[in-house]
Amino acid sequence: MSQGSGDSGSLVFLAALLAALGLSPVLAIHVYTQREVYGTVGSHVTLSCSFWSSEWISEDISITWHFQAEGSRDSISIFHYAKGQPYIDDVGTFKERMEWVGNPHRKDGSIVIHNLDYTDNGTFTCDVKNPPDIVGKSSQVTLYVLEKVPTRYGVVLGSIIGGALLLVIVVVALVYLIRYCWLRRQAALQRRLSAMEKGKLQRSAKDASKRGRQAPVLYAMLDHSRSTKAASEKKAKGVLGDSRKEKK
């Protein structure tokens, strides 16, 4: 057997051993972006891109952004970072509206698009390579550029919202005021009823006391009346007896 055959057999055996252990000779790099980003015409938007690599960030790291316009099948390169320097491609309309805000040592490959327009609608792809960690899948984010709300409409909308909030505040204040007046009236009525009940009790007590004082007087008058009546009857009987004696 030749030496070349022995070397190839060793490589096959090593690959089989790594596969059996669940290991890979090259670990994949992972790239992350948002799925969707929204902006308005004339504003700016940040396209965030972060990544994870099992290797130290080397000087050979590269970050590339591609753009595929909405409804188009072609993708163009709009940004490239390599050898520690950012490069904005001259192709397309982003060359004077793009800003590099990433930091590879912080595992950040973000860019900013200024002065957005409807032609910016589409899909942006971020791809990162960190040799020897070069195997991985890029990540995509879709940008939606919406119509900018005119200032006068914004003012009108703000006025409507402010008026609605003011109306809600007035209604709530009226509800609390009505409830306060009702509770105050109920409290006054309760105090009045309590005073009336108290007055009735006092008058009842006075009447009972008065009747208690008048009872002995009435009893005395009744006794006197009975005594006087008895004396009169006795006197009348005496007179009648005398008259009968005279007749005899």
pLDDT of residue 184: 86
pTM of the model: 0.53
Q: What is the 3-state secondary structure (H, E, C) of 185-231?
A: HHHHHHHHHHHHHHHHHHHHHHHHHHHHHHHHHHHHHHHHHHHHHHH
**pLDDT confidence band for 192 (50 / 70 / 90):** confident
102: pLDDT confidence band, cut at 50, 70 and 90? very high
Arithmetic mean of pLDDT, 37-56: 95
- Which residue shows structure tokens 């969707």? 36
What pLDDT, in 10s, does the model give residues 147-187? 975 555 556 667 788 888 899 999 999 898 898 898 888 88
Choose the weakest-confidence range: 12-21, 52-61, 64-73, 202-211: 12-21
Q: What percent of the chain has a predicted confidence (pLDDT) above 70? A: 68
Q: How confident is the model at residue 110 (pLDDT cuts 50, 70, 90)?
A: very high
Residue 90 has pLDDT above 70, yes or no: yes
- Report pLDDT digits (tens) over 124-146: 999 999 988 888 899 999 999 99
